[in-house]
Protein backbone atom coordinates (compact mmCIF):
# COMPACT_ATOMS: atom_id res chain seq x y z
CA UNK A 1 0.00 0.00 0.00
CA UNK A 2 1.13 3.55 -0.67
CA UNK A 3 1.59 5.33 2.64
CA UNK A 4 -0.81 8.22 2.87
CA UNK A 5 1.34 10.29 5.21
CA UNK A 6 4.15 11.96 3.32
CA UNK A 7 7.27 12.74 5.32
CA UNK A 8 7.18 16.33 6.48
CA UNK A 9 10.05 18.67 5.74
CA UNK A 10 8.97 22.09 6.93
CA UNK A 11 12.21 23.84 6.07
CA UNK A 12 12.18 22.51 2.48
CA UNK A 13 8.48 23.26 2.00
CA UNK A 14 9.06 26.89 2.90
CA UNK A 15 11.90 27.44 0.45
CA UNK A 16 9.83 28.25 -2.70
CA UNK A 17 7.53 30.54 -0.73
CA UNK A 18 10.45 32.38 0.84
CA UNK A 19 12.23 32.63 -2.53
CA UNK A 20 9.11 34.13 -4.16
CA UNK A 21 8.73 36.54 -1.24
CA UNK A 22 12.39 37.57 -1.46
CA UNK A 23 12.06 38.20 -5.21
CA UNK A 24 8.92 40.32 -4.67
CA UNK A 25 10.62 42.37 -1.91
CA UNK A 26 13.70 42.85 -4.11
CA UNK A 27 11.59 44.04 -7.04
CA UNK A 28 9.60 46.44 -4.89
CA UNK A 29 12.36 47.98 -2.82
CA UNK A 30 15.41 47.67 -5.02
CA UNK A 31 13.90 48.91 -8.28
CA UNK A 32 17.21 49.96 -9.85
CA UNK A 33 19.06 46.82 -8.80
CA UNK A 34 16.16 44.62 -9.91
CA UNK A 35 16.23 46.36 -13.28
CA UNK A 36 19.94 45.53 -13.69
CA UNK A 37 19.38 41.90 -12.67
CA UNK A 38 16.36 41.50 -15.00
CA UNK A 39 18.26 43.06 -17.91
CA UNK A 40 21.34 40.86 -17.30
CA UNK A 41 19.16 37.76 -17.00
CA UNK A 42 17.24 38.66 -20.15
CA UNK A 43 20.43 39.26 -22.16
CA UNK A 44 21.96 36.02 -20.87
CA UNK A 45 18.79 34.14 -21.74
CA UNK A 46 18.65 35.59 -25.25
CA UNK A 47 22.34 34.90 -25.90
CA UNK A 48 22.37 31.40 -24.40
CA UNK A 49 21.79 29.59 -27.75
CA UNK A 50 24.80 31.42 -29.24
CA UNK A 51 27.05 30.12 -26.42
CA UNK A 52 25.47 26.64 -26.71
CA UNK A 53 26.07 26.61 -30.48
CA UNK A 54 29.77 27.35 -29.86
CA UNK A 55 29.82 24.65 -27.18
CA UNK A 56 28.41 22.19 -29.72
CA UNK A 57 31.47 22.93 -31.88
CA UNK A 58 33.67 21.51 -29.13
CA UNK A 59 34.47 24.62 -27.07
CA UNK A 60 34.29 24.71 -23.29
CA UNK A 61 31.33 26.63 -21.87
CA UNK A 62 33.66 29.29 -20.43
CA UNK A 63 35.42 29.94 -23.74
CA UNK A 64 32.09 30.00 -25.60
CA UNK A 65 30.69 32.54 -23.12
CA UNK A 66 33.85 34.69 -23.31
CA UNK A 67 33.53 34.81 -27.13
CA UNK A 68 29.82 35.71 -26.98
CA UNK A 69 30.33 38.44 -24.37
CA UNK A 70 33.37 39.87 -26.21
CA UNK A 71 31.46 39.92 -29.52
CA UNK A 72 28.55 41.72 -27.87
CA UNK A 73 30.93 44.21 -26.20
CA UNK A 74 32.63 44.94 -29.55
CA UNK A 75 29.25 45.40 -31.31
CA UNK A 76 27.86 47.70 -28.58
CA UNK A 77 31.19 49.52 -28.19
CA UNK A 78 31.48 50.01 -31.96
CA UNK A 79 27.92 51.33 -32.21
CA UNK A 80 28.54 53.69 -29.28
CA UNK A 81 31.80 54.85 -30.91
CA UNK A 82 29.86 55.71 -34.07
CA UNK A 83 26.92 57.26 -32.24
CA UNK A 84 28.50 59.29 -29.44
CA UNK A 85 30.11 62.02 -31.64
CA UNK A 86 26.82 62.49 -33.53
CA UNK A 87 24.80 62.62 -30.31
CA UNK A 88 27.28 65.06 -28.71
CA UNK A 89 27.08 67.32 -31.79
CA UNK A 90 23.33 67.26 -31.58
CA UNK A 91 23.49 68.06 -27.85
CA UNK A 92 25.80 70.99 -28.53
CA UNK A 93 23.45 72.35 -31.19
CA UNK A 94 20.49 71.87 -28.89
CA UNK A 95 22.07 73.66 -25.96
CA UNK A 96 23.32 76.60 -28.00
CA UNK A 97 19.74 76.95 -29.20
CA UNK A 98 20.97 77.38 -32.75
CA UNK A 99 18.35 76.71 -35.38
CA UNK A 100 19.22 76.55 -39.03
CA UNK A 101 17.42 78.83 -41.43
CA UNK A 102 15.79 75.80 -43.12
CA UNK A 103 14.56 74.51 -39.76
CA UNK A 104 13.21 77.95 -38.84
CA UNK A 105 11.40 78.08 -42.21
CA UNK A 106 9.90 74.65 -41.61
CA UNK A 107 8.76 75.64 -38.11
CA UNK A 108 7.21 78.85 -39.47
CA UNK A 109 5.39 76.77 -42.13
CA UNK A 110 4.04 74.40 -39.46
CA UNK A 111 2.96 77.39 -37.32
CA UNK A 112 1.20 78.97 -40.29
CA UNK A 113 -0.60 75.71 -41.09
CA UNK A 114 -1.61 75.17 -37.46
CA UNK A 115 -2.97 78.71 -37.14
CA UNK A 116 -4.92 78.31 -40.40
CA UNK A 117 -6.35 74.88 -39.67
CA UNK A 118 -6.96 75.12 -35.92
CA UNK A 119 -7.83 78.80 -35.45
CA UNK A 120 -10.91 77.75 -33.48
CA UNK A 121 -8.59 76.48 -30.75
CA UNK A 122 -7.30 80.01 -30.12
CA UNK A 123 -3.78 79.58 -31.49
CA UNK A 124 -3.26 83.25 -32.50
CA UNK A 125 -0.56 83.78 -29.86
CA UNK A 126 1.31 80.60 -30.83
CA UNK A 127 5.03 81.31 -31.21
CA UNK A 128 6.47 77.92 -32.10
CA UNK A 129 10.05 79.13 -32.58
CA UNK A 130 10.23 80.65 -29.10
CA UNK A 131 8.51 77.63 -27.54
CA UNK A 132 10.85 75.19 -29.32
CA UNK A 133 13.90 77.23 -28.28
CA UNK A 134 12.72 77.18 -24.63
CA UNK A 135 11.94 73.45 -24.81
CA UNK A 136 15.33 72.67 -26.39
CA UNK A 137 17.10 74.65 -23.69
CA UNK A 138 15.29 72.87 -20.85
CA UNK A 139 15.58 69.48 -22.59
CA UNK A 140 19.33 69.86 -23.08
CA UNK A 141 19.72 71.02 -19.48
CA UNK A 142 17.78 68.00 -18.27
CA UNK A 143 19.91 65.65 -20.38
CA UNK A 144 23.15 67.15 -19.07
CA UNK A 145 21.82 67.07 -15.50
CA UNK A 146 20.90 63.40 -16.02
CA UNK A 147 24.36 62.64 -17.40
CA UNK A 148 26.04 64.45 -14.48
CA UNK A 149 23.85 63.04 -11.71
CA UNK A 150 23.46 59.53 -13.08
CA UNK A 151 26.83 59.12 -14.78
CA UNK A 152 28.10 57.09 -11.84
CA UNK A 153 25.17 54.67 -11.96
CA UNK A 154 25.51 54.53 -15.77
CA UNK A 155 29.15 53.52 -15.44
CA UNK A 156 28.29 51.03 -12.68
CA UNK A 157 25.55 49.52 -14.87
CA UNK A 158 27.86 49.41 -17.89
CA UNK A 159 30.21 47.26 -15.82
CA UNK A 160 27.74 45.22 -13.75
CA UNK A 161 25.36 44.23 -16.56
CA UNK A 162 28.05 42.50 -18.72
CA UNK A 163 29.65 41.07 -15.55
CA UNK A 164 26.36 39.57 -14.30
CA UNK A 165 25.42 38.49 -17.82
CA UNK A 166 28.75 36.64 -18.10
CA UNK A 167 28.10 34.64 -14.93
CA UNK A 168 24.43 34.02 -15.73
CA UNK A 169 25.53 32.67 -19.13
CA UNK A 170 28.41 30.62 -17.76
CA UNK A 171 26.87 29.25 -14.56
CA UNK A 172 23.16 29.65 -15.37
CA UNK A 173 22.59 25.93 -15.83
CA UNK A 174 24.14 25.07 -12.45
CA UNK A 175 22.24 27.92 -10.77
CA UNK A 176 18.96 26.64 -12.22
CA UNK A 177 19.80 23.10 -11.14
CA UNK A 178 20.60 24.34 -7.64
CA UNK A 179 17.29 26.21 -7.46
CA UNK A 180 15.37 23.15 -8.71
CA UNK A 181 17.12 21.00 -6.09
CA UNK A 182 15.43 23.11 -3.39
CA UNK A 183 11.96 22.15 -4.63
CA UNK A 184 10.26 19.49 -2.45
CA UNK A 185 10.16 15.97 -3.96
CA UNK A 186 6.41 16.07 -4.60
CA UNK A 187 6.69 19.18 -6.82
CA UNK A 188 10.10 18.44 -8.32
CA UNK A 189 8.98 16.77 -11.58
CA UNK A 190 6.17 19.29 -11.98
CA UNK A 191 8.69 22.15 -11.62
CA UNK A 192 11.08 20.61 -14.14
CA UNK A 193 8.25 19.99 -16.59
CA UNK A 194 6.91 23.53 -16.24
CA UNK A 195 10.35 25.15 -16.53
CA UNK A 196 11.13 23.19 -19.68
CA UNK A 197 7.84 24.07 -21.37
CA UNK A 198 8.18 27.71 -20.33
CA UNK A 199 11.69 27.78 -21.74
CA UNK A 200 10.44 26.36 -25.05
CA UNK A 201 7.71 28.98 -25.42
CA UNK A 202 9.38 31.99 -23.89
CA UNK A 203 12.86 31.39 -25.28
CA UNK A 204 11.65 31.36 -28.88
CA UNK A 205 9.47 34.40 -28.27
CA UNK A 206 12.12 36.55 -26.56
CA UNK A 207 14.90 35.61 -28.98
CA UNK A 208 12.55 36.24 -31.89
CA UNK A 209 11.67 39.68 -30.53
CA UNK A 210 15.35 40.51 -30.04
CA UNK A 211 16.36 39.44 -33.56
CA UNK A 212 13.29 41.22 -34.99
CA UNK A 213 14.28 44.47 -33.20
CA UNK A 214 17.83 44.20 -34.58
CA UNK A 215 16.48 43.51 -38.11
CA UNK A 216 14.04 46.43 -37.93
CA UNK A 217 16.80 48.71 -36.58
CA UNK A 218 19.19 47.76 -39.41
CA UNK A 219 16.44 48.23 -42.05
CA UNK A 220 15.57 51.64 -40.57
CA UNK A 221 19.22 52.76 -40.55
CA UNK A 222 19.58 51.77 -44.23
CA UNK A 223 16.27 53.44 -45.22
CA UNK A 224 17.09 56.72 -43.41
CA UNK A 225 20.63 56.70 -44.86
CA UNK A 226 19.19 56.33 -48.40
CA UNK A 227 16.74 59.17 -47.69
CA UNK A 228 19.61 61.35 -46.43
CA UNK A 229 18.13 61.97 -42.97
CA UNK A 230 20.58 63.32 -40.37
CA UNK A 231 21.58 61.07 -37.44
CA UNK A 232 20.25 58.07 -39.35
CA UNK A 233 22.18 55.62 -37.13
CA UNK A 234 20.74 57.02 -33.91
CA UNK A 235 17.20 57.28 -35.31
CA UNK A 236 17.35 53.79 -36.84
CA UNK A 237 18.58 52.18 -33.62
CA UNK A 238 15.86 54.04 -31.71
CA UNK A 239 13.22 52.77 -34.19
CA UNK A 240 14.50 49.20 -33.75
CA UNK A 241 14.25 49.44 -29.96
CA UNK A 242 10.87 51.18 -30.12
CA UNK A 243 9.61 48.37 -32.35
CA UNK A 244 9.82 46.11 -29.27
CA UNK A 245 6.87 48.04 -27.82
CA UNK A 246 3.70 46.94 -29.65
CA UNK A 247 1.23 49.53 -31.01
CA UNK A 248 3.03 52.56 -29.53
CA UNK A 249 6.55 51.66 -30.67
CA UNK A 250 6.22 52.00 -34.45
CA UNK A 251 4.66 55.47 -34.08
CA UNK A 252 7.28 56.48 -31.51
CA UNK A 253 9.94 55.36 -34.00
CA UNK A 254 8.71 57.36 -36.98
CA UNK A 255 8.01 60.70 -35.23
CA UNK A 256 11.62 61.71 -34.38
CA UNK A 257 12.82 60.62 -37.83
CA UNK A 258 10.11 62.72 -39.54
CA UNK A 259 10.91 65.75 -37.33
CA UNK A 260 14.65 65.48 -38.03
CA UNK A 261 13.94 65.14 -41.78
CA UNK A 262 11.73 68.28 -41.72
CA UNK A 263 14.15 70.32 -39.61
CA UNK A 264 17.10 69.21 -41.75
CA UNK A 265 15.58 70.18 -45.09
CA UNK A 266 13.25 73.00 -44.06
CA UNK A 267 10.54 71.40 -46.14
CA UNK A 268 7.42 69.92 -44.55
CA UNK A 269 7.05 67.53 -47.47
CA UNK A 270 10.34 65.79 -46.62
CA UNK A 271 8.49 64.00 -43.79
CA UNK A 272 6.39 62.12 -46.37
CA UNK A 273 9.11 59.81 -47.76
CA UNK A 274 10.22 59.02 -44.18
CA UNK A 275 6.66 58.11 -43.15
CA UNK A 276 6.17 56.04 -46.34
CA UNK A 277 9.53 54.31 -45.79
CA UNK A 278 8.56 53.38 -42.20
CA UNK A 279 5.16 52.20 -43.38
CA UNK A 280 6.80 49.89 -45.95
CA UNK A 281 9.35 48.72 -43.37
CA UNK A 282 6.56 47.94 -40.89
CA UNK A 283 4.70 45.95 -43.56
CA UNK A 284 7.92 44.09 -44.42
CA UNK A 285 8.52 43.45 -40.74
CA UNK A 286 5.00 42.20 -40.03
CA UNK A 287 4.57 40.03 -43.11
CA UNK A 288 8.10 38.86 -44.02
CA UNK A 289 10.65 39.28 -41.21
CA UNK A 290 8.58 38.55 -38.09
CA UNK A 291 6.90 35.36 -39.39
CA UNK A 292 10.33 34.03 -40.41
CA UNK A 293 12.10 34.96 -37.16
CA UNK A 294 9.51 34.91 -34.41
CA UNK A 295 8.86 31.19 -34.27
CA UNK A 296 6.13 31.32 -31.67
CA UNK A 297 4.34 34.33 -30.38
CA UNK A 298 2.92 34.82 -26.94
CA UNK A 299 -0.57 36.06 -27.77
CA UNK A 300 -1.69 38.80 -25.43
CA UNK A 301 -4.77 40.99 -25.47
CA UNK A 302 -3.98 44.55 -26.68
CA UNK A 303 -5.41 46.05 -23.47
CA UNK A 304 -3.15 43.80 -21.40
CA UNK A 305 -0.15 44.89 -23.51
CA UNK A 306 -0.98 48.59 -23.06
CA UNK A 307 -1.49 48.17 -19.30
CA UNK A 308 1.88 46.34 -19.08
CA UNK A 309 3.58 49.16 -21.02
CA UNK A 310 2.06 51.80 -18.72
CA UNK A 311 3.07 49.93 -15.56
CA UNK A 312 6.59 49.34 -16.96
CA UNK A 313 6.91 53.03 -17.84
CA UNK A 314 5.63 54.09 -14.41
CA UNK A 315 8.07 51.81 -12.55
CA UNK A 316 11.23 51.93 -14.66
CA UNK A 317 10.78 54.60 -17.36
CA UNK A 318 11.67 53.90 -20.99
CA UNK A 319 13.59 50.72 -20.11
CA UNK A 320 10.52 49.56 -18.20
CA UNK A 321 8.38 50.12 -21.29
CA UNK A 322 10.82 48.07 -23.37
CA UNK A 323 10.88 45.27 -20.79
CA UNK A 324 7.13 45.40 -20.08
CA UNK A 325 5.96 43.16 -22.92
CA UNK A 326 8.59 40.39 -22.44
CA UNK A 327 7.95 40.45 -18.67
CA UNK A 328 4.15 40.35 -19.19
CA UNK A 329 4.71 37.51 -21.69
CA UNK A 330 6.81 35.72 -19.08
CA UNK A 331 4.00 35.91 -16.48
CA UNK A 332 1.43 34.82 -19.05
CA UNK A 333 3.48 31.75 -20.03
CA UNK A 334 4.20 30.95 -16.34
CA UNK A 335 0.49 31.04 -15.56
CA UNK A 336 -0.59 29.22 -18.72
CA UNK A 337 2.01 26.45 -18.51
CA UNK A 338 1.70 26.30 -14.71
CA UNK A 339 -2.03 25.62 -14.88
CA UNK A 340 -1.87 23.14 -17.79
CA UNK A 341 1.05 21.21 -16.23
CA UNK A 342 -0.56 21.30 -12.76
CA UNK A 343 -3.67 19.58 -14.14
CA UNK A 344 -1.60 16.56 -15.20
CA UNK A 345 -0.43 15.95 -11.63
CA UNK A 346 -2.56 14.58 -8.82
CA UNK A 347 -1.66 17.06 -6.10
CA UNK A 348 -3.79 16.76 -3.00
Partner 1 sequence: MTDFRARVFGYNRKAKPDEELHAILEKIPVFEGFSPRELAALGRVLHKREYLPGEVIIRQDEPGLGMYIIQSGEAAVISGRDDVQLSVLGDGDFFGEVSLLDETPRSATVVARTHCLIFGFFQSDLFGLIERDPRFGVKIVIRLAKILGDRLRKANVQVLALTERVHELNAPAPR
CA–CA gap between residue 244 and residue 275 (Å, rounded): 19
Per CB under 8 A, the list member of 36, 55, 115, 266 interacting with partner 1 is 55
Q: Which is nearer to partner 1, 3 or 85 (CB)?
A: 3
> Is residue 67 involved in binding partner 1 (CB under 8 A)?
no
Per CB under 8 A, the list member of 144, 196, 279, 287 interacting with partner 1 is 196
Contact 238, 256 (CB under 8 A): yes
CB 9: neighbour CB atoms within 10 A? 12
CA–CA gap between residue 60 and residue 67 (Å, rounded): 11
CA–CA gap between residue 182 and residue 171 (Å, rounded): 17
> Is residue 177 involved in binding partner 1 (CB under 8 A)?
yes
C-alpha 294: how far from chain center: 16
CB of 11 to partner 1, least distance (A): 13
> Is residue 342 involved in binding partner 1 (CB under 8 A)?
no
**Those residues with Cβ within 8 angstroms of residue 106's Cβ, 6 or more apart along the chain or in another chain:** 262, 263, 265, 266, 267, 268
CB 267: neighbour CB atoms within 10 A? 14
**Those residues with Cβ within 8 angstroms of residue 2's Cβ, 6 or more apart along the chain or in another chain:** none
- 110-169 residues near partner 1, rule: CB under 8 A: none
> Is residue 41 involved in binding partner 1 (CB under 8 A)?
no
> Is residue 7 involved in binding partner 1 (CB under 8 A)?
yes
- 219-278 residues near partner 1, rule: CB under 8 A: none
> Is residue 5 involved in binding partner 1 (CB under 8 A)?
yes
Q: Which is nearer to partner 1, 3 or 122 (CB)?
A: 3
Per CB under 8 A, the list member of 19, 173, 307, 317 interacting with partner 1 is 173
Per CB under 8 A, the list member of 120, 181, 301, 302 interacting with partner 1 is 181
> Is residue 52 involved in binding partner 1 (CB under 8 A)?
yes
Amino acid sequence: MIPTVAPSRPSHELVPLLTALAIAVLLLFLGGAAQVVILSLLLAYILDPAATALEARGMSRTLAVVIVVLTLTVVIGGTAYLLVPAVMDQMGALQSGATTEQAADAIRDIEHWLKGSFSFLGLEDLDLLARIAAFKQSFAERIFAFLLNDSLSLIVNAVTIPFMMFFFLKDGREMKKKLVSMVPNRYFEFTLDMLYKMDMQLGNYLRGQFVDAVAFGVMSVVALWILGVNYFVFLGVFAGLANLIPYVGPIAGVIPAAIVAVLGSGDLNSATPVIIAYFILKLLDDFVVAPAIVASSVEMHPVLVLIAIMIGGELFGILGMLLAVPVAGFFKVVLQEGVSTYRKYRFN
